[in-house]
Structure 1
Amino acid sequence: MKVLSNPDRLLLLCELSQGERRVGELETLCDIAQPTLSQQLGVLRDEGLVATRREGKHIHYRIDSPQALAVMGVLYDQFCK
């Protein structure tokens, strides 16, 4: 839950709860500058909440924790729709 206390990370997980996204998509959707985006995605990766997949030059992120996905599903339904 401590990881979710950061607004940028919470917003990223909210977007990822709707499906896999490329880094560029996350940057646009969340309006987070590239350096901050990379830092926050790194924290989420280090905590085991997200996983990556490379496709050519693009890196795709997805939520990799069933528990985090369940929490984000509830939060998305209540606050993000």
Structure 2
Amino acid sequence: MALPQLSEDISRDDMDRMAANATRASNFLKAISHEGRLMILCHLVSGEKSVTELESLLSARQAAVSQQLSRLRLEGLVTPRREGKAIYYRLADDRPRKMLETVYELFCDEE
């Protein structure tokens, strides 16, 4: 997909659409800009995990993990599922996976 070209003759509707998309993208980038949230997404790429599993994987307290999951849920990046007292999370769609692949390409050393 090609990036849009801004020009003086762009329509008001197109400019409004671009502004709305910029807001959505900005919110997405803010949501993933925290190391803890980014690590949660990395763990969820391999499949659904309980909050307890995420606590263990991240070596973090339940309150910290829940706070980060709340932000990810607010942005629509993860989806919760309750089973008894346990709450499980999974990626809501493919956006986080695509983003993580791009981040990996940009920032991870080749082995």
TM-score of Structure 1 vs Structure 2, range by shorter chain: 0.7 to 0.9
Higher-strand-fraction structure: 1
RCO higher in 1 or 2 (8 Å CA, sep ≥ 6)? 1
Question: Contact (CA 8 Å) 1:51, 1:61: kept in 2 or not?
Answer: yes
- Give aligned-pair identity as a percent: 44
Match of 2:95 among 67, 70, 73: 67
**Residue-by-residue CA offset, 1:21-60 (whole Å, 9 max, x unaligned):** 0110000001121111111100000000000111111110
Match of 1:39 among 67, 79, 84: 67
Measure the CA separation in 2 of the matches of 1:41 and 1:76.
21
Give the letter aligned to residue 38 of structure 2: L
TM-score between both structures, scaled by the size of structure 1? 0.85
Which blocks of at least 5 consecutive residues in structure 1 are unaligned?
Answer: none
TM-score between both structures, scaled by the size of structure 2? 0.64
Point out the structure with max Rg over C-alpha.
2
Measure the CA separation in 1 of the matches of 2:77 and 2:50.
16
Give the letter aligned to residue 6 of structure 1: H
Equivalent pairs, count: 78
Question: Contact (CA 8 Å) 1:14, 1:76: kept in 2 or not?
Answer: no
- Structure 1 segments of 4+ aligned residues over 2 angstroms from their partners: 75-79
Question: Contact (CA 8 Å) 1:23, 1:61: kept in 2 or not?
Answer: yes
For the aligned residues, what is the CA RMSD? 1.7
